[in-house]
Amino acid sequence: MNAKEFLDKLDQEKVVAAIAEAERQTSGEIRVYISRRNRADGLAAAQVRFKKLGMHKTRERNAVLIYVAPVAQTFGIVGDEAVHTRCGEKLWQDVRDAMAAELKAGRFTEGVVAAVNLVGAELQRHFPHHADDKNTHSNEIDIE
């Protein structure tokens, strides 16, 4: 599948709304990134992009990137060190499984929103919202 086809089927407004809703409940940051390139290793590409986007610079080290490479039919989810320490490997497995099932069925919006919702729930549990929290990263989907 090419990236244009994926993006045409992705309801970006629903994804952005899910990110905004999740972030209202947490001090954490969630970003979604769609690559038009053929990235065979979604996780490795996500780790590189996480750094390039400066997501490791949040105050509590609690940012998460959901990276999708439709051309290679792969994705990766990367969380900063505090997220990984507090949430553990189970979060990544749960998000991966939920997202993979939806994407495989061609339900792209549902797959990305499911990932955002699962990540958001865990961030809320471990990193509650504070009155002085600022949204340091855009909720808009980044497209390469």
> pLDDT tens-digit profile of 87-114?
988 999 999 999 999 999 999 999 999 9
Q: What is the pTM of this model?
A: 0.94
CATH number, span 3-128: 3.10.310.50
- Under the banding of pLDDT at 50, 70 and 90, the label for residue 69 is very high
Element (H, E) at 130: none
- Residue 135 pLDDT exceeds 80: no
Cα separation, 38 vs 18, in Å, equals 27
Q: What is the pLDDT of residue 1?
A: 79
The answer to whether 76 touches 107, Cβ cutoff 8 Å, is: no
**Nearest one of 62, 6, 69 to 41, comparing CA atoms:** 69
- Residue 138 pLDDT exceeds 80: no
Cα separation, 7 vs 4, in Å, equals 5
- Residue 144 pLDDT exceeds 90: no
Cα separation, 26 vs 5, in Å, equals 33
Cα separation, 33 vs 30, in Å, equals 10
- Residue 137 pLDDT exceeds 80: no
Element (H, E) at 69: strand 63-69
Residue position matching structure tokens 């407004």: 13
DSSP state of 26: B
> pLDDT tens-digit profile of 9-50?
999 999 999 999 999 999 999 999 999 999 989 999 999 999
Residue position matching structure tokens 């497995």: 93
Give Cβ neighbours of residue 118 (< 8 Å, ≥ 6 apart). Answer: 91, 94, 95, 98
